[in-house]
Amino acid sequence: MRLFFFLALLFVFVQSYSKTDKYRLTLRDNPATSIVIGWNQVSGVSPTVYYGKEDHGTSWKNYKEKAQPDRTVVFGEMENKFVRLSGLIPNTSYFFVIKDSEGISKRYWFKTAPMESNSRMSFVAGGDSRNNPTPRRNANLLVSKLRPNVVLFGGDMTSSGTPEQWKKWLDDWQLTISEDGRMYPVIASRGNHERTNDMIYNLFDVPSEKVYYGVTCGDELVRVYVLNTEISIAGEQTAWLKKDLTRNKNTGWKIVQYHKPMRPHVSSKREGNVQYMEWANLFYDEKVKLVVECDAHTVKSTWPVKPSTKSKSEEGFERDDRRGTVYVGEGCWGAPLRSSDDAKIWTRDHGMFNQFKWIFIDKEQIEVRTIKVDNAEEVSSVSDSDPFEIPENLDVWNPENGSVITIRH
């Protein structure tokens, strides 16, 4: 009798738990029509994603579509599988399960971004999640509550990128999944704590082995550029950037994310002179209006600035409210905080706390808020019918110059 119960229990266990974990969504292309579903295949064979516009729970047979991994890469002691879906319908919920020879995953879902020209999108942007699990998990939990279209992650996920650290990071990332199973795609950059480009390429299936690329979101609403401050900036990378910016002149907004700041607001950090030389004028000329930087583990936002060495300038920039670029940052997703002891005359506000940016983008304007993440547990969720309403208890930083940075054309 006991053996029977044991076998029955074992059967139930094997039936209901798939041998997959460390789920993540990433992007290689427009989030309105594509997504990458990634996971770790612990054991079992023939994994298949069953998906569709209707929610069938874990009844995999009822899903209309299926797809097998486009890429498998063993990295960080994990078997990373990636299913790249394209041709999706914009502004639509897609439900999915992963079935393999050993079982079925929980049912997850995602929502493609809108494609209408008058639509609005919400992004979470930050980085530097190494070392401290509590703020890292709080920030992750807050993603699950803000339900953004996209998460921009600016590098330094872990301290040294050991398999153990990556596994922990990906386990913690599961906290970004909402209670109802909704997941959010990441646009990932490389930081100096990722010792190789491969770490980002193999764990996030980004569309460039050198980890610099552009992703257009929606109907040319915004093109997000990911740049790589950990490889040569001059030469090939900047040549590509120049060409891509010119080719995408019609894009409504251009925003940029990379790891090391041009002008860090922590005095012990080295100035980003090479990227200043290569990128500052390019951003200004090509109307890049927002840049998200990381690495220094402090909080800053600048006024719109243009490259200048005139008398009103400091460290190569002066304020230009009409045409300038706003730089925000710098990390704080769980890395040890540093004092912002290196503010400039064109610094708008600065501070020192665990945070990320919450960004709303529509045709007319960009709004940037800095969100303190420590009270994530107490924050209520936004609803998918109005993801731009500030949820109850959300700790929006309200410094001297106001809580909302508004950027217009």
Contact set with Fe ion (CB under 5 A): 156, 191-192, 295
Q: Which is nearer to Fe ion, 100 or 156 (CB)?
A: 156
Q: What is the distance between the alpha carbons of residues 127 and 130, in angstroms, rounded to a whole number?
A: 9
Q: Which is nearer to Fe ion, 95 or 327 (CB)?
A: 327
Q: Give the nearest distance from C-beta 293 to Fe ion in angstroms.
A: 10
Q: Give the nearest distance from C-beta 338 to Fe ion in angstroms.
A: 11
Q: What is the distance between the alpha carbons of residues 78 and 99, in angstroms, rounded to a whole number?
A: 18
Q: Which is nearer to Fe ion, 96 or 327 (CB)?
A: 327
Q: Give the nearest distance from C-beta 329 to Fe ion in angstroms.
A: 11
**Are the C-beta atoms of residues 190 and 197 closer than 8 Å to each other?**
yes
**Are the C-beta atoms of residues 324 and 291 closer than 8 Å to each other?**
no
Amino acid at 330: E
Q: What is the distance between the alpha carbons of residues 98 and 230, in angstroms, rounded to a whole number?
A: 35
Listing DSSP states for 225-244 in one string gives: EE--TTS--TTHHHHHHHHH
> 3-class SS at 202?
helix
Q: What is the distance between the alpha carbons of residues 186 and 206, in angstroms, rounded to a whole number?
A: 9
Q: Which is nearer to Fe ion, 295 or 362 (CB)?
A: 295
* Cα separations in angstroms, 361 against 209, 395, 396: 28, 20, 18
Q: Which is nearer to Fe ion, 156 or 362 (CB)?
A: 156
Q: Give the nearest distance from C-beta 353 to Fe ion in angstroms.
A: 18
Q: Give the nearest distance from C-beta 212 to Fe ion in angstroms.
A: 17
Q: Give the nearest distance from C-beta 297 to Fe ion in angstroms.
A: 8
Q: Which is nearer to Fe ion, 121 or 233 (CB)?
A: 233
Percentage helix, strand, coil, to 5, in the chain? 20, 30, 50
- Neighbouring C-beta atoms of residue 302, cutoff 10 Å: 25
Q: Give the nearest distance from C-beta 146 to Fe ion in angstroms.
A: 24
Q: What is the distance between the alpha carbons of residues 321 and 116, in angstroms, rounded to a whole number?
A: 29
Q: Which is nearer to Fe ion, 117 or 192 (CB)?
A: 192
Q: Which residue's Cβ has the minimum distance to Fe ion?
A: 295
Q: Give the nearest distance from C-beta 259 to Fe ion in angstroms.
A: 6
Q: Which is nearer to Fe ion, 82 or 204 (CB)?
A: 204
**Are the C-beta atoms of residues 65 and 52 closer than 8 Å to each other?**
yes
Q: Which is nearer to Fe ion, 128 or 219 (CB)?
A: 128
Q: Give the nearest distance from C-beta 230 to Fe ion in angstroms.
A: 9
Tokens of 51: 């998906």
